[in-house]
Amino acid sequence: MAWEKNLYGDRIAEVYDDFYSDRFDTAGAVEFLGDKARGGRALELAIGTGRVALPLRNTGVEVAGIDISERMV
């Protein structure tokens, strides 16, 4: 079976945020990263659904990101 580069993202995109909502401290991560960025810029690799990037952007940090899965984005 050939490995497909975005198979994970294609399979989990629809439920990703719900699945990780109680497994990951998004608010804590956003606070930590916002403090580190100091209102500057951040690059998120494997940005996925933007679960961290979007609230981080709302703190005034300019966020850019990439992901291998179009469905996740």
For the chain, state the CA radius of gyration. 13
As a whole number of angstroms, the distance between CA 34 and CA 28 comes to 10
pLDDT of residue 50: 94
20's CB contacts (< 8 A; 6+ apart) are 51
Here the tokens at position 55 are 């609230």
pLDDT of residue 8: 77
Mean pLDDT by 10 residues, the chain (73 residues): 65 87 92 95 94 96 93 88
